[in-house]
């Protein structure tokens, strides 16, 4: 491959990463505008975020396996094409159903294209030093999307129309398709022919959908209604089917035995709780800033930018911090910071100013950044042949944790808001009461995650150098 093609391939995968990361957080600030225009209920609005995450998380491992079998280039191009077309549909949506369908298809496209990015970088940069530089560019682009997403979403929804948060993907996606088709040249997959884990994909996806539906729609149908109770039962049964199926197939989506490793299992639990807390809080804090504090979309977007900047700074420092004090201390301390920031947000009232909102968000951002050493720590404890599977599992767990975070925190908020409304409280006061209760639940759960991280990540540290065990413990 020529140097020009190699550079263009890096640009193509970086642009895809930017779009996928951007789409995870650009929507949040625009939610009130979407709700007003399409007349979404709160539970319906949750599906705008949850449909994307649900499909993304369900098919992420499947996409990785498909790339191994069919090749990364065709998966990159087809996934990007679907993501771009779905963005056009979502931007043109004139009804809640059309928007949710567009978001679900975006999630499917993202699940196809996301696993290809690092695989393509590894293939086109065989030299280790150049590959490390390329991965650094890839990470920086993702961080940039994290920082500008909320602000961009606020500016677009306030000064243009919310549909443009999806339309911006279309020209970028088309240009990236052309660039990727020209630049990415990879050999055809070789080696043992593998089968797809269809049973695992369908059972895990069915379980997640049944659980998400029951949590989001429980208030609407009634928690003791046959539909909701049936959904919870179906989720449990399908989860059991998934666990059994993964022990029977030759090439499972998830190697169940990995979860019994203390470091890996504890790391997965910590990642799940991290995503549960952060995704859920981002979603409902956007509503709080605009519906309760009456911030404009641009002001709400600006409120998240300093938090994102601190998250980036924390991620840069997380590796050295873990090396200096031990990952069990740095990650658990970071989780404790997130819990403290969420608890601090629960003290904000209906008259909070922009300056008063900043401290808890900054604490959450700093803690969120310092947890990034979690992935490297867990992968370092795994045998090399399992590193790829472990990475895919971590990405999937992050999406599932975020999905359930939005659903569960939303269920807590809605239940409390309804109780207060029945007592005669106005909308802002009722929403604020539900928001506070949801924050407390999330803070407690993230604090539990801090304890899990401390004990799980500590387990294998003494094995590296016995002479330093006194310093580490």
d(CA 282, CA 349): 17
- Given a cut of 50, is residue 468 above it in pLDDT? no
Q: Which residue has the higher pLDDT, 451 or 401?
A: 451
pTM over 0.85: no
Choose the final residue of a domain: 184, 213, 229. 184
Range 422-441 average pLDDT: 87
Dump pLDDT digits (tens) for 226-282. 888 898 899 899 888 888 887 887 777 666 766 777 777 888 888 888 888 887 777
Q: Determine contact, residues 461/326, Cβ cutoff 8 Å.
A: yes
Cα separations in angstroms, 436 against 36, 286, 302, 303, 384: 23, 14, 22, 19, 44
d(CA 313, CA 320): 12
Among residues 23, 229, 243, 203, the alpha carbon closest in space to that of 114 is found at: 23
Looking at the fold, whether 314 and 271 belong to one and the same domain comes out as yes
Q: How far is CA 172 from the centre of its chain?
A: 22
Q: Structurally, how many domains does the chain consist of?
A: 3
Range 345-367 average pLDDT: 90
pLDDT at 344: 92
Looking at the fold, whether 34 and 162 belong to one and the same domain comes out as yes
Q: What share of the chain is helix, strand, coil (3-state, %, to 5)?
A: 85, 0, 15
Burial call 67-95: b when 16+ CB within 10 Å, e when fewer: bbeebbbbbbbbbbbbbbbbbebbbebee
Please identify which residue in the block is written with the tokens 């080696």. 191
Q: Is 193 a domain residue?
A: no
Dump pLDDT digits (tens) for 32-82. 888 888 888 777 777 887 788 778 877 777 777 777 777 788 888 999 999
pLDDT at 252: 72
Q: Determine contact, residues 212/228, Cβ cutoff 8 Å.
A: no
Tokens of residue 63, six digits:
């996409």
Looking at the fold, whether 228 and 105 belong to one and the same domain comes out as no
Helix, strand or coil, per DSSP, at residue 381: coil
- CATH number of the domain bearing residue 299: 1.20.1250.20
Among residues 124, 23, 21, 108, the alpha carbon closest in space to that of 72 is found at: 124
CA dihedral 54, 301, 271, 400 (to 10 degrees): -10
d(CA 251, CA 470): 42
Domain of residue 39, residue span: 1-184
> What DSSP string describes 101-128?
HHHHHHHHHHHHHHHHHHHHHHHH--SH
Looking at the fold, whether 138 and 216 belong to one and the same domain comes out as no
Helix, strand or coil, per DSSP, at residue 176: helix
Please identify which residue in the block is written with the tokens 């867990």. 378
CB within 8 A of 41, min separation 6: which ones? 220
d(CA 116, CA 13): 8
Angle formed by the axes of helices 42-70 and 262-287, nearest 10°: 140
Looking at the fold, whether 421 and 444 belong to one and the same domain comes out as yes
Dump pLDDT digits (tens) for 130-166. 776 776 677 667 767 766 777 888 888 888 888 898 9
- Given a cut of 50, is residue 360 above it in pLDDT? yes
Q: Is 343 a domain residue?
A: yes
Looking at the fold, whether 159 and 226 belong to one and the same domain comes out as no
């Amino acid at each position: 491959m020529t140097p020009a093609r190699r550079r263009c391939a890096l640009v193509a995968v970086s642009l895809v990463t930017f779009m996928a990361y951007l789409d995870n957080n650009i929507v949040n600030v625009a939610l009130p505008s979407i709700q007003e225009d399409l007349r979404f209920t709160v539970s319906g609005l949750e599906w705008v975020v949850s449909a994307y995450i649900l499909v993304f998380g369900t098919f992420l491992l499947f996409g990785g396996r498909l790339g191994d079998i069919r090749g990364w280039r065709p998966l990159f191009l087809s996934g990007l094409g679907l993501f771009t077309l779905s963005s056009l549909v979502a931007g043109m949506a004139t009804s809640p159903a059309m928007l949710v369908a567009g978001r679900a298809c975006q999630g499917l496209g993202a699940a196809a294209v996301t696993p290809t990015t690092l695989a393509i970088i590894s293939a086109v940069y065989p030299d280790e030093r150049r590959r490390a530089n390329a991965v650094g560019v890839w990470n920086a682009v993702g961080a940039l999307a994290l920082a500008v997403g909320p602000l961009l979403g606020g500016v677009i929804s306030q000064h243009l129309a919310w549909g443009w948060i999806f339309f911006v993907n279309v020209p970028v996606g088309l240009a990236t398709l052309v660039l990727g088709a020209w630049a990415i040249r990879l050999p055809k997959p070789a080696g043992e022919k593998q089968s797809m884990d269809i049973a695992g994909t369908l059972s895990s996806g069915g379980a997640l959908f049944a659980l998400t539906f029951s949590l989001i729609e429980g208030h609407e149908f009634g928690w003791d209604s046959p539909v909701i109770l049936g959904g919870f039962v179906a989720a449990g049964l399908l989860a059991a089917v998934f666990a059994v199926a993964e022990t029977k197939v030759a090439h499972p989506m998830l190697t169940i035995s990995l979860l019994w490793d203390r470091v890996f299992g504890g790391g997965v639990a910590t990642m799940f709780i991290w995503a549960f807390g952060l995704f859920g809080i981002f979603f409902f804090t956007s509503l709080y800033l605009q519906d309760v504090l009456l911030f404009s979309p641009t002001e709400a977007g600006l409120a998240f930018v300093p938090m994102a900047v601190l998250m980036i700074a924390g991620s840069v420092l997380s590796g050295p911090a873990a090396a200096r004090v031990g990952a069990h201390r740095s990650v658990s301390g970071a989780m404790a910071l997130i819990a403290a920031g969420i608890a601090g947000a629960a003290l904000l009232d209906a008259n909070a100013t922009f300056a008063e909102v900043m401290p808890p968000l900054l604490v959450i951002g700093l803690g969120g950044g310092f947890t990034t050493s979690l992935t490297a720590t867990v992968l370092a404890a795994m045998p090399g042949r399992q590193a790829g599977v472990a990475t895919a599992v971590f990405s999937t767990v992050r999406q599932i944790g975020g999905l359930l975070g939005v659903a569960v925190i939303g269920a807590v908020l809605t239940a409390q808001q309804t109780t207060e409304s029945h007592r005669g409280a106005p909308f802002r006061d009722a929403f604020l009461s539900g928001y506070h209760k949801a924050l407390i639940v999330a803070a407690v759960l993230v604090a539990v995650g801090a304890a899990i991280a401390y004990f799980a990540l500590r387990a294998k540290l003494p094995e590296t150098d016995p002479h330093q065990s006194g310093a580490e413990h």
